[in-house]
Structure 1
Amino acid sequence: MLLFVIDPTSRRSIPLGRIMEAYGLTRAEARVALAASSGNTIIETARCLRLSPNTIKTHLRRVFAKTATGRQAELAGLIGAIGTVRVTDRSSEH
């Protein structure tokens, strides 16, 4: 079993491009995924992003499909993991 302990406030520093690239999300979907993975409700996410709750729900459905998740808690784990993974270019080490 693997357990990640991640500060939810650190998610704000994860670049949207990294989330978009990792899961094939649009910019709008990545913004919703990041906000929702921080523990915000749909209403809070809508207010924060200045979108309607229905738009948030639509984006979340797409995010869940693209990330193979079904709940915000699962999504939070994925987004948190993106923030902990560092990719290095092995060719520059030689």
Structure 2
Amino acid sequence: MTIKRFVTILGVTACAGLVLTACSGKKEDAKTVTVGLMTKTASDEARWDKIEETLKKDGIKLVYKEFADYSQPNKAVASGEVDINAFQTYN
């Protein structure tokens, strides 16, 4: 067997392995995103319900952590306690 043929067979085998691995039937686990926000109002509830509904289609689950002090959400993001925050004004 020549070197060229050996390298070709090795390359085809590697590509086939990658394709088969990428096509596995295992579904990814749902991702959970923790959102830091100030105490939710009724209008906030409606907004977040719609956001949750949209993200659920992509396998993303939202978990909320409410804060009473406006300085805490940014600190929580910086420390990794929450993934994102949403406490700024929307207008």
Instruction: Classify the TM-score, shorter chain.
Output: under 0.3
Higher helix share: 1
Structure 1-normalised TM-score? 0.22
Higher strand share: 2
Structure 2-normalised TM-score? 0.22
